[in-house]
A and B are shown apart, each in its own frame.
Chain A
Amino acid sequence: MPLDNPKGQSFRLVGSRPDRPDGIDKVTGRAKFGADMSAPGMLVGKLLRSPHAHARIRRIDIKKALALPGVKAIVTRDDFKEIEGDLRDVSRNVMARDKALYDGHAVAAVAAIDTATARKALKLIKVDYEILPHVTDVEEAMKPGAPVLHSDLFTQGVEPTPKKPSNIAKRHEFGHGDVAKGFAQADVVVERKFKNEATHQGYIEPHACLASVGNDGQGELWVCTQGHYAVRNVCASLLGMDVSKLRVTASEIGGGFGGKTTVFIEPVALALSRKAGKPVKIVMSREEVFRASGPTSSATVWVKIGIKKDGRITAGDAVLKYQGGAFPGSPVDMGAMSAFACYDLENVRAVGWDVVVNRPKQAAYRAPGAPISAFGVESVIDELAQKIGMDPIEVRLKNAAHEGTESSYGPTYGVIGLRATIEAAKVHPHYKAPLGPNQGRGIASGFWFNFGGQTCVSLNINIDGTVALAVGTPDIGGSRASMCLMAAEELGIGYDQVRTIIADTSSLGYNDISEGSRVTFSTGMATIQAARDAVKKLCGRAAQMWGISPEAVLWENGHAKPAGANAGDFPPLSLADIAKVAANTGGPIAGHCEVNAEGAGVSFSTHLCDVEIDPETGFTRVIRYTVIQDAGKAIHPSYVEGQYQGGAVQGIGWALNEEYIYGADGKLQNAGFLDYRIPVASDLPMIDTVIVEVPNPGHPYGLRGVGETSIVPPLAAVANAVSAAAKVRMTEIPMSPPKILKAMGEAQRR
């Protein structure tokens, strides 16, 4: 759907900042999250998880547990059919089959009358494990002789295909030109290896669901998820149910950031409910969230970039190794595609290796894979700028990708806003502000794709002229407010006259998951089309009442009006006037749209970060931070700013504090928020934001997705700032105080 007016648009409501429709519910506690659902006769579900990083499951004995009074059902691998194809790994992650592949892997589940009984029953389940050697480090897992997780995993993307299984699932390669030739033309070449630890999305609400399957085989599921249609389809497949027999309702969501785009406990709750004949609720503990949901990858990244003294980059090369947990599918392909995507390069190559280790299966985390590769590339760009004595902003401007650039992953860019974000950074007061002792400043840019996807909405005109808009994409970042604004804009009514709800899976056609920064783009596009469909019908009803042709009616400022003098002289009819008599003019009035939204625009961001290091302790404090990002068109600027700030904060946490720590025994050592510390408000300054608007030609209002790009630059922006303050290049994150002290000490000794 193209941009309505490429020469510029003016809006009545879009771009304003009305109150959020879910605000009162959330601050008063009335909003219902996953764990708030209950049902008569409900049982409590609990999972037994492997205490071993890698073990063959020889036998599971549930007899004693099943005999415990109050236990109503137990499920193990025997209750889930063998699945082949796309869902094989999902199925095996939900419930271990022949092997437990990580500390925390589910091996059995109990439904009982209360929590105490369920916990007691878990202790009575006897699992006979044969403990196997394990590996949790990505580079160790790639070595010959490493413990092999899957005997049927043979590396894809290499020639010839290996005859022996290994932990290397796949090789990806992107790029163009001749990097060797490019390096030969360079005046300065910097080559470095970087390392990052795995982090968790850190959503405050643990996974929770309530499942109810009746004796007739029909089921309902209430769940905290980013995509209830996908949950329905996956659960139906894993449990052998007809899709139509499972109705899924999404609760409010206390954060997802990609981590709630798959299933963990939901098929288990349904299986327990089916077996017990009663509703079953499962709520993960925080420890379970860390051990058994999906964090992102840990990785090593090697980057080599060559540059001329005039600041022109001649070649970029990178090798990325990401572990994706116990199953193939790390986001290394997208890390490799996005590594050099900010730059206009003649010679570029990025090779990615997807590796399995004995850790939980990774799940998407906000711009999956991109922050990791950007950390390496943007750090080396920073170092090159220092070596040739050029301002890092000027180096970026000189090499920034623009309309017509052949991207590092292939396609030629259309209209993009990277250069606008860098230029905005250059003139921002932050960039020229003086720095004090032990302080440093970093800059980094970042890229993310964004996409559209399957979307279905229904816009219903109520009898009083208000509007009920039903969408199928869970609101994970303020999309209900944006949908209300876009519907009201099109219909010519007030923001408060539209109420947007997230409909259950039986009420609308399929909707893809709320992921990929897609919701405001694609559900927004569908909402606009549905509103235009409703307007057409409203004009038709007015024409009917006036006895003129529908083509002779136009819609203006929320009213149907005769299109001109020849159409007749009739007083305008408001939306409420037409709605009031809908029963007499043909029945209910509604607009609909079913679309597979295409035309999403790529998105770029540039970040500025100031830090101060305590030289005695190595403790780092972020003292100023500015996010500058292209939104295409900000529908509700406060929410856009919130996305910018949220991504930056998560990136700062990843850069400075957060890490999964595994012991030599392969067990997670810090499965709780006390030992895995995410930044809180008191740790951070107010994150400043600048919204750049370079319209996306593929959307009627020109908007681009904004949810993910903001997490791409912070790892490098913070690392560049810390490196400047510490006067030593930091190459490992998180840059915790001991690492900073060590690096500073080594630099002084040199």
Chain B
Amino acid sequence: MVQVVLWGSLKSATGGATKVEVEAANIRELLSRLGEKHPGLKPQLDRGVSVSIDGKIYRDAWFQPIPPGSEVFLLPRLAGG
């Protein structure tokens, strides 16, 4: 089970929770299960997010493993200039 910390404004899509738990071994599974469990998150997930695993931020890597006990954050999709 992975505990995911959402950024504050997403709590409106999770009934007020900023920490949610899903069963996932990699980023693809994480995003897919988050969307299933909290359909309100789906529009944001479809628009794009970044995922931080133990301090490293990933934008696209579906198959990046999420080791047990990892610190996982959902973040807006980063863009630069």
Interface residues of A in 502-543 (CB under 8 A from B): 515-518
The contact of B73 among A411, A413, A450, by CB within 8 Å, is A411
Interface residues of A in 344-402 (CB under 8 A from B): 349, 351, 364-368
The contact of B55 among A259, A411, A450, by CB within 8 Å, is A411
The contact of B79 among A161, A201, A364, A454, by CB within 8 Å, is A364
Are A410 and B12 in contact, CB atoms less than 8 angstroms apart? no
Q: Give the distance in Å from the alpha carbon of A515 to the alpha carbon of B58 in the complex.
A: 16
Q: Give the distance in Å from the alpha carbon of A161 to the alpha carbon of B9 in the complex.
A: 12
The contact of B56 among A453, A515, A698, by CB within 8 Å, is A698
Are A172 and B9 in contact, CB atoms less than 8 angstroms apart? yes
Q: Give the distance in Å from the alpha carbon of A516 to the alpha carbon of B9 in the complex.
A: 24
Closest to A514 in B: B80
Are B76 and A365 in contact, CB atoms less than 8 angstroms apart? no
Closest 5 CB pairs of A and B: A258-B81, A516-B80, A173-B8, A157-B9, A364-B81
A contact residues, total (Cβ < 8 Å): 51
Interface residues of B in 46-61 (CB under 8 A from A): 47, 52, 54-61
Are B7 and A172 in contact, CB atoms less than 8 angstroms apart? yes
The contact of A172 among B8, B47, B59, B60, by CB within 8 Å, is B8
Are B81 and A409 in contact, CB atoms less than 8 angstroms apart? no
Closest to B80 in A: A516
Are B12 and A366 in contact, CB atoms less than 8 angstroms apart? no
Closest to A413 in B: B55
B22 at the interface (CB under 8 A from A): no
Interface residues of A in 129-179 (CB under 8 A from B): 156-159, 161, 170-175
**A259, A412, A517: residue with the most chain B Cβ atoms closer than 10 Å:** A412
Interface residues of A in 318-364 (CB under 8 A from B): 331, 333-334, 337, 349, 351, 364
**A86, A174, A366, A450: residue with the most chain B Cβ atoms closer than 10 Å:** A174
Q: Give the distance in Å from the alpha carbon of A337 to the alpha carbon of B47 in the complex.
A: 18
What residues of chain B lie closer than 8 Å to A367, measured between beta carbons?
Answer: 80-81
Q: What residues of chain B have their CB less than 8 Å away from a CB belonging to chain A?
A: 5, 7-10, 12, 47, 52, 54-61, 64, 71, 73, 75-76, 78-81
Closest CB-CB distance, A445 to chain B, in whole Å?
19
A-B contact pairs, 29 of them (CB 8 A): A159-B12, A172-B76, A173-B8, A201-B81, A259-B81, A261-B79, A331-B79, A333-B76, A337-B75, A364-B80, A366-B81, A368-B81, A409-B7, A411-B52, A411-B54, A411-B71, A412-B54, A412-B71, A414-B55, A450-B80, A451-B78, A451-B80, A515-B79, A516-B79, A516-B80, A596-B61, A598-B59, A708-B80, A708-B81
Closest CB-CB distance, A285 to chain B, in whole Å?
23
What residues of chain B lie closer than 8 Å to A412, measured between beta carbons?
Answer: 54-55, 71
What residues of chain A lie closer than 8 Å to B58, measured between beta carbons?
Answer: 598
Closest CB-CB distance, B59 to chain A, in whole Å?
6
Closest CB-CB distance, B46 to chain A, in whole Å?
9
Are A368 and B12 in contact, CB atoms less than 8 angstroms apart? no
Interface residues of A in 255-289 (CB under 8 A from B): 257-259, 261
A449 at the interface (CB under 8 A from B): yes
Closest CB-CB distance, A688 to chain B, in whole Å?
24
Q: Give the distance in Å from the alpha carbon of A433 to the alpha carbon of B55 in the complex.
A: 39
Known: A411-B71, A516-B78. A449 touches B57 (CB 8 A): yes
A73 at the interface (CB under 8 A from B): no
Closest CB-CB distance, B5 to chain A, in whole Å?
6
Q: Give the distance in Å from the alpha carbon of A333 to the alpha carbon of B49 in the complex.
A: 12
What residues of chain B lie closer than 8 Å to A368, measured between beta carbons?
Answer: 79-81
Q: Give the distance in Å from the alpha carbon of A451 to the alpha carbon of B77 in the complex.
A: 11
A600 at the interface (CB under 8 A from B): yes
